[in-house]
Amino acid sequence: MYQVAVLAFDGVFASALTGVVDLFTLTGVTWNRIHGQPLDQQFQVRIVSKDGNPVRCTPSIRMAVDASIDQIDKVDLVVIPTIGAPIEQVLEQQRDVLPWLRRIHSAGADLASNCTGAFLLAEAGLLDNCTATTHWGFSQQFRQRYPQVKLNERELITREGNIFCAGGGTAWRDLTILLVERYCGPDLARELSRAFVIDVRNDLQSVYAGLPAHSYHQDEQVQTVQAWIHEHFRDPTSLGELAEKVHLSPRQLQRRFTNTLGEPPLQYLQRVRIEAARKMLERGTNNLTQLAELVGYQDVSSFSRLFKRHTGLSPSHYRQRFARTGSLTD
C-alpha cells in the first residue's frame, strides 16, 4: 500500500484533516463494499504531529495522532491540511516541522497542501520560484510574505513537480481525487468520486473568489488610491489621473501599487468592477447591458470577455449558477 502522512497541528481545520484521511483510507474499500467486491485498500494513512501528542483542531476538536514526525522517515505522500487558526501563530508554533518537510521531500515524498496549508510549504522554502495556489482570501497576505512564490490564486489546484497545492474550502476533495488518480489510475479515482458523490468540476477557484477584505500593507498613498477605486469604480479613469490624486508620477504609482498588492492599479480596478458585477448577478440583475454600465463599461462584449477571464464563467453562466431566479438578457 502507498504510505500517506497527514500533518496535524493545533489550529488545523478538522474537516480538511479527517476528510483527506477518509478518502485515502477508503479508496478501493467503499466502492467495493457497495458492489459486493473484495476490499482492495490502496493507502495506509497516518496522522502525524511534530511531537506525537494530540492536537486541538479548529473548532475545538481534540484529535489523537498516530506518530511524531521523527518516526516518519519515508512515505509516498505528505498532506498539509488547512490552517484554521491565525496563520502567523501556527507558523511560529510549527517551526520544528519545516526541516522535516524539507527532509522528507528530499527523500522523494510528494507534498500536497490544501488552502492555507500552502503557507507551511512556503515557510519551509519548498515553493520558492514555484507556481502555487492558496485560498483566494489570503492571497494578498501570502504574496506579501512570500514574494518569491509564483502565486496563482485563480487556480483550484496547481502542480510543480511533485508538489501539489489546492485552493480554498473543500478543494481537498478535488486534490485527493487527483492524487488517487496519480497513484492508482483514473478508474479507482472515478470509483472513489462516485462512491462519495463528489462532483469533480475542475473549476477555477476564481469562480468563488472575491476581493480580500483587508490590505496587508502600510503604504498610505496606495491605500488612498485603493479607497478611491472602491468608491468610484464606475467612473472612467486612467493611470495618470490616479497618480495625480497622490502626487506621484504614473510610473511611480504603477511600481508602488504592483510591489504592494501584486498587480497594477488598472488591473485592480478591473477586479473591483468584476466583484461588483458578481454581487449584482447574485442578487438577480438580469440585464447585461445595464449591468455593464453600472460597473463602468460601455462595451458589453468587452465586459463579458473580462468577466469570463476573471471568473472562468460568462455573466449568464455565472448568474445561472449562483442566482436563484430569472434569466440574463441583453
Residue 162 in any domain: the answer is yes
Residue 100 in any domain: the answer is yes
The pLDDT value recorded for residue 198 is 87
According to DSSP, the β-strands at 163-166 and 157-160 are antiparallel
Measured CA to CA, the distance from residue 80 to residue 106 in angstroms comes to 17
Residue 214 in any domain: the answer is no
pTM, two decimal places: 0.70
The pLDDT value recorded for residue 324 is 55
Measured CA to CA, the distance from residue 112 to residue 140 in angstroms comes to 21
**Which range marks the domain in which residue 7 is found?**
2-207
The conformation of residue 214, written as its DSSP 8-state character, comes to: S
CATH of the domain at 189: 3.40.50.880
Per-residue pLDDT tens digits for 225-268: 998 998 899 999 999 999 999 999 999 999 999 888 878 999 99
* Residue 233 three-state SS: coil
Same domain, 256 and 199: no
Measured CA to CA, the distance from residue 196 to residue 172 in angstroms comes to 13
The pLDDT value recorded for residue 155 is 85
The pLDDT value recorded for residue 128 is 97
Residue 255 in any domain: the answer is yes
Cβ proximity of 118 and 165 under 8 Å: yes
Residue 54 in any domain: the answer is yes
Q: How many domains does the chain have?
A: 2
Q: Whose grid coordinates read 471568473?
A: 311
The pLDDT value recorded for residue 309 is 85
The pLDDT value recorded for residue 135 is 94
Provide the angle, in degrees to the nearest 10, between the axes of the packed helices 265-283 and 220-232. 40
Same domain, 182 and 237: no
Measured CA to CA, the distance from residue 145 to residue 258 in angstroms comes to 15
How many degrees, rounded to 5, is the angle at CA 50 between CA 44 and CA 53? 85
Report the candidate in 249, 261, 247 with the shortest Cα–Cα distance to residue 219: 261
Same domain, 271 and 123: no
The pLDDT value recorded for residue 330 is 47
Measured CA to CA, the distance from residue 176 to residue 169 in angstroms comes to 13
Same domain, 157 and 118: yes
The pLDDT value recorded for residue 212 is 53
* Residue 329 three-state SS: strand
Report the candidate in 39, 18, 2 with the shortest Cα–Cα distance to residue 191: 39
C-alpha cell belonging to residue 110: 510528494
Same domain, 242 and 175: no
Same domain, 227 and 139: no
Low-confidence ranges of the chain (pLDDT < 50): 213-214, 326-327, 330
Per-residue pLDDT tens digits for 156-205: 899 998 999 999 878 999 999 999 989 998 889 989 999 999 876 655 55
